[in-house]
Amino acid sequence: MIVNFYERYQPKAQLGFMEDALLADSLSTDGKYTDLLKEHFKQSHGMEDLLFTPSATSALELAVQLLGLTPGDEVLIPSFTFPSAANAVMKCGGTPVLCDVDLKTKNISLEDASSKITERTKAIIPTHYAGISCNMDQLMTLAEEHHLAVIEDAAQAVHSLYHDKPLGTIGDFGAYSFHHTKNFSCGEGGAFLCKDPSCMDQGEIIRDNGTNKAQFYKQKLSGYSWQCAGSNYMMSGACAALLYAQLLDYEVITAKRKGVSETYHEILTVSAQQLDGKVSLMEVPGYSTPNYHIYYINCKDFETREALRNGLLADGIDARTHFVPLHLSDFGRTMGYSAMDLPNCFSVYETLLRLPIHTEMSRTDCEMVTDFLVKRVREIK
Ligand SMILES: *Cc1c(COP(=O)(O)O)cnc(C)c1O
């Protein structure tokens, strides 16, 4: 590859922090680096507390468990997303109800979601695709009208804003991912956020195999025991140290990604005539300040997308499609959905193409990507 799809940002501080975590902090969960991470989110997000987990998936499972679903309860989820939220709902005995997305943002269509609300609907789990916010005012109003809990799947949206509010902090619960492909990574990692601080104690219990060990460690109890169903959703001190090194540089990381995104946008806007209506550009709504997790283009149809993807691959540019919508997946089809039930998801699945974006890309790299893209567009009859 001439331009890789993704490369990890290597912060200067990481090896020192790792050594310190290994030698001084004995890799314990909720040690020194967890405290520093909590301080980071307090400063940047004004958050009193959050829990670090091994993944966004486990944070979503934790949040869904707190909803106390009973069999037959329904949860609205966009079909164009990763399976984590749907799996979490099914694990807790609920039924995921798959919704269409807006063509413009690729986020859950509130029109489709509201048409699917029944007396069994308990929650909605919106994804902020590409780190671009859902319209949270409209979403929260819909949720309030129907008494739905809101769990933000903010896996891609760490340090993205809706107006001036950090994503993940607006709904009742939020989930972040620090998976190695995300903007800030520690290999595998995540965080669980909740708006109501009184849920935090229960979250800590579920996260630690259903025990009140956290209370014991805080010397509020003389011992600990099993309180409820739970799991091991703890992040190791090694991951916390790696993640803290990344988050210390979050402004550098975001600025570099923003540079790539803006360079693409600027060049492709100037090249609009050559793109000849075969490709249109990503749009960011005015209420959203993204973290530039993804830069995608919309192709005219499936054939155009595949011609560009294969052409770019041959040129050494790793451009990629994204999610197979859940309702189109092998498993989704067994749940009774057919492809055209959610037409916008189908269209996004067929036509979206993600361009490389990471902190190690120079302006020349960006120009190489756009030059090849324009060349490949012009080859299409
Ligand atoms: C990456 C991702 C996840 C899963 O995150 P993990 O930390 O790997 O569990 C869930 N939802 C979305 C939208 C994602 O992009």
Give the tokens for residue 312. 């770019």
Please work out whether the CB of residue 351 comes within 6 Å of at least one atom of ligand 1: no
Residue type, 200: M
User: Which atom of ligand 1 is nearest the CA belonging to 57?
Assistant: 9
| pLDDT tens for each residue of 151-178 | 999 999 999 999 999 999 999 999 999 9
pLDDT confidence bin for 27, thresholds 50/70/90: confident
Please work out whether the CB of residue 183 comes within 6 Å of at least one atom of ligand 1: no
User: Which atom of ligand 1 is nearest the CA belonging to 54?
Assistant: 7
The CA 24 to ligand 1 mean position distance, Å, reads: 31
Q: Where do the CATH 3.90.1150.10 domains begin and end in the chain? A: 250-379
User: Which atom of ligand 1 is nearest the CA belonging to 84?
Assistant: 10
The CA 67 to ligand 1 mean position distance, Å, reads: 20
Is pLDDT at 26 greater than 90 in this prediction?
no
Provide the edge-to-edge strand list for the sheet that holds 288-289.
165-166, 161-162, 288-289
The CA 157 to ligand 1 mean position distance, Å, reads: 10
Please work out whether the CB of residue 11 comes within 6 Å of at least one atom of ligand 1: no
**What pLDDT, on the 0 to 100 scale, is given for residue 30?**
86
Is pLDDT at 355 greater than 90 in this prediction?
yes
Alpha-carbon distance 230 to 378, whole Å?
56
| pLDDT tens for each residue of 298-338 | 999 999 999 999 999 999 999 999 999 999 999 999 999 99
Q: Which CATH architecture has domain 14-248?
A: 3-Layer(aba) Sandwich (3.40)
Please work out whether the CB of residue 53 comes within 6 Å of at least one atom of ligand 1: no
Residues 358-379 have a mean pLDDT of: 98
Please work out whether the CB of residue 81 comes within 6 Å of at least one atom of ligand 1: yes
Q: Closest residue (by CA) to atom 14 of ligand 1? A: 155
**What pLDDT, on the 0 to 100 scale, is given for residue 25?**
79
Mean pLDDT of the chain, nearest integer: 97
Alpha-carbon distance 317 to 362, whole Å?
14
**Ligand 1 pocket mutation pick from 176, 179, 184, 296 by most atoms within 8 angstroms of CB:** 179
The CA 56 to ligand 1 mean position distance, Å, reads: 5
| pLDDT tens for each residue of 219-269 | 999 999 999 999 999 999 999 999 999 999 999 999 999 999 999 999 999
Q: Which CATH architecture has domain 250-379?
A: Alpha-Beta Complex (3.90)
**Ligand 1 pocket mutation pick from 84, 107, 294 by most atoms within 8 angstroms of CB:** 84
Is the pTM higher than 0.95? yes
Please work out whether the CB of residue 55 comes within 6 Å of at least one atom of ligand 1: yes
Please work out whether the CB of residue 56 comes within 6 Å of at least one atom of ligand 1: yes
Q: Closest residue (by CA) to atom 5 of ligand 1? A: 56
Q: Where do the CATH 3.40.640.10 domains begin and end in the chain? A: 14-248
- Which value, in Å, is the radius of gyration of the alpha carbons in the chain? 21
* Cβ proximity of 142 and 113 under 8 Å: yes
On the 0-12 / 13-18 / 19+ scale of CB atoms within 10 A, 27 is middle
